Structure 1
Amino acid sequence: MAKQKINHYSGIGGQAVLEGVMMRNKDVYAVAVREENGEIAVETDHYKGAGEAMGLTHIPFLRGVFVFWDSLVLGMKALNYSASLFGEEDIASSKDPIAEEGKEKAIMGFTTVIAFVFAIALFMILPYYLSSLMESYIRNSSVTALLEGVLRIAIFVIYILLISLMKDIRRLFRYHGAEHKCINCLEAGKPLTLENVRESSRLHKRCGSSFILFVMVISIILFFFIRTPSVPLRIVIRIALIPVIAGIAYELIRIAGRSNNIIIRILSAPGMLMQMLTTKEPDDEMIEVGMKSVEAVFDWKEFLEDSFGYKFEDEEKIAE
């Protein structure tokens, strides 16, 4: 049996995609998707981010900027693959696959940039604009700065609630839950079985939802102390500080994923509450997809043996 010890860092992470789960372990990632015929398609590939290519992944705070961008790029790539299994033409069937692949990369890059700009406008610029409308009524600049932060969080929550009304997004949130359950199962020292994953929590401290909430809280603190009377300069500062905020948030989420002390649990609590909105309980078929994705990139038996002293050979002998 495994030793009862929790919160071992596995190093794997991922995201939900259309009818599936993407898991990444170092520079290897896999996308597992439940196809319309009921079969699970698994695509495995390598992805080396810009930070890794330049050797910057070991520099605190700076690495978070590259991890954030790489997550966006890889996430879009995984989503595009899952979408291609539901009616879109396969690149391999094209007369010129190289040209089609280049076109796909260009579209993916453009889509990522548009999504990034939209996020900045919605979660950075809009809260500032709304809070600035109240400056004539609220004379205290500190209160206005706090109001901007509260509005930023409120807009994010409203955004999540609105998109969760869509059927496809609700299913995406269930696959998000399956992703978390698989990782939590292993990091709690349990074999990756359907029953164990089903009983695991759908909330995880390294979740992207928690990261975004850290970003918002850190932005409140920084914008509270960094002020200027120039309106255009205020907007420029908010945009310019995004890499700094992302770098700090990444270090916090990284610590949260490796520690379980009381302080970390308190800091992680708001993000865990946010995940009540961004994750939902998956069914067994969704869990199976998540398990396939994990198995494609991660030797979970070796992980349990090294981290928890689990003896699979002894169990196999007993079963015989």
Structure 2
Amino acid sequence: MAPAAQFEAAQPPKDAISSLVFSPFASRRMLVSSWDKNVYLYEVADGAEEANLVGTFTHRAPVMDVCFGADDNEAFLAGMDHQVNRLNLTTGEQTVMSTHGAPVRCVVYSSEHSLLISASWDSTLHVHSTRNPSQKPLSIPLPGKPHALAASPTKLVVAMTARLVHIYDLPTLTSTLSSPNPQQPPQPWQQRESSLKFLTRAVACMPNDAGYSTSSIEGRVAVEWFEDSAESQARKYAFKCHRQAAPEEEGGGDVVYPVNALAFHPVYGTFASGGGDGTVALWDAEAKRRMRQYQKFPESVAALAFSSDGRFLAIGVSPGFETGMEDYSGEGRTKVFVRELGETEAKGKGAK
């Protein structure tokens, strides 16, 4: 593989990036959602350092999240207009899957179970069967407002206000949804209190289905395992990151930034974090160490995603509110960078 290289995607969004995701399939397609009410579809060119805009799909409200569906031509989006929509990336047609009572913060698709799950600020989850799109979604009440959502092959992790974390078993959600008359919403497989002291900003699941990582607004990341044994829970840990030393004339100490984004490498199981300090770092979860930190980007890192083969890391950069800006504008400052990783760049200490 060639040495690491980094390039910029053509025609970036005109406002802040809300999410970014690579196709889970073999293609190099990438979706970016934005507060400018659009979803952008890019394709990383094979053998060339460029990411070209393939299509732009306009929604009627800011788009808070986006994910691919059952193939490269299907996507789902979460809207500030309370709607969960299916988007046909070939025709541009949008179909309403369900309507929440407040803006929809997150959407994730489980290909293993053909489930689309949306989380809304009305404090509910909607679980949709994509095999039977006409079926009414299962509604699950949550004890707090959801802020981050992630799925592993068998689990769904929901991070909420008040440091609440609920973990659901996806096979259980599937069987409940297929039941002709479910008597009550399924209970969480586990209920946890976040290891972090402040509001959760992002969550990502390990590709091997063993656990997950969360990040907070207060420059910290936690790594936890699903298994509920004392031995497994003793392995969990949290650490400080995305901090910068303040000048002595300002009293010294650390300037602390939110950790906005997390993404696990699909092959090696290492993970990347992105913060309001404009940096991206790679971490070895097992060895509990930082592998490398990349050069500072011009704005806050809003979103991260690895390609399905682990060859590329996409980085969404847009102005954050770390400097307390009164007049917010992302136009001209919002960018999408794609880094082609070196062969062992994301390889952890114990990886084979």
- Normalising by structure 2, report the TM-score: 0.26
Instruction: Pick the structure with more helix per residue.
Output: 1
Q: Write 1 or 2 for the structure with the bigger share of strand.
A: 2
Structure-1-length-normalised TM-score: 0.28
Higher relative contact order (CA 8 A, sep 6+): 1
